[in-house]
Every structure is written in C-alpha cells, then in structure tokens.
Amino acid sequence: MSMSDIILPVVIGAILFYGIYKKVDVYGVFVEGAMEGAKSAINIFPYILAVIFAINLFIQSGAENFIVSLLAPVTSLIGFPTELLSLSIVKPLSGGGSLGVFQSILDGYGPDSYIGRSASILMGSSETIFYTTAVYFGAVGIKNARHTVKVGLIAHCASIFASLLAGRFMF
C-alpha cells in the first residue's frame, strides 16, 4: 500500500472527526453543501452547453482547418512548426479536443522529438481559456468577461513561445 492510497481516506476521516469533535452536524452540513453544489451545477450548465456547442461547431465546420491552412505559410517563415498550429488553436477552446490533437502529434512524431516535447510543454503550460471562463464566470453570475479573455489569449501566446523555446534549448 502506497502513501497515495491512504492520503484521501485520512484527510476525509480527519475532517469528519474534527467536525464531530467541534459538535457540528457533519451529515447536515454535507447535505447542505451538496445541495448548493447541485444548484451551482444547474446555474452553470447553460454556459457549459453553449461553450461545448460553439467549440464543436468550430472544429466540425472545418473552421479550425481553414485557419491552420491560412496561418501555416506565415508560421513556417518564423520557425513555428505547422504541426503545432492545430494544438495551439484547439487548446484554448477544448481540453478533450486538444488531447486528441496532442495524441496524434505524439503518434506521428514521437514524444522525444522536438515537436512532441514542444507539444507536451504546451499542453502543460496553457489553459482551456474559453471553457474555464464560461464555467467560473457562470458559477458566480458574471456576464461581462471584460479583459479576461484578452489576457488569457496573451498568456496562451506566451505559453506557445515558451514551449517552443524550452523544447528547442532544454532538450
């Protein structure tokens, strides 16, 4: 039995025993928290559904492939591998979609290639910006994202360039 097998049961047990020690109705508080969580899930469901629909529409319509074909000549001039274009476009939109693109990159080029390493670094250093913005802002009722998406996309561009540099110079 490893340490990771017992950490979660120990933490849950410690919380339960601490609640009992403090004379808290642990079961009632748990049920109340679960009800609040269910209400939050219902509140953010329309936002999640809208983002998933938009992402699938973007990918299935061929818009992603069209953008990749437009950007490929420009990115190849600056030394950006065209193989990473699709991953760079899909990652801010969809975690699942980017995992599929990532897997195809690893299958085609291998995990130890420059492309594979750069893709791995990109996957670990970037975020699904539109999905998380919709979920988090939807959960607290924020309707105007203001500068959040802009800053998220700037950070995504920084993570792309950092992954290329780290892939080239560190390996």
Position 88 scores a pLDDT of 92
Q: Where are the domains of the chain?
A: 44-169
pLDDT tens digits for range 109-146: 999 998 999 999 999 998 889 888 888 887 788 888 88
pLDDT tens digits for range 12-32: 999 999 999 999 999 999 999
Closest C-alpha among 97, 85, 105 to residue 60: 97
Average pLDDT over residues 138-162: 88
The residues, any chain, with a CB within 8 Å of residue 84's CB and separated by 6 or more, are 105, 115, 118, 119, 122, 160, 164
Structure tokens at 110: 């291998």
Structure tokens at 159: 């993570």
Position 30 scores a pLDDT of 92
Give the pTM.
0.70
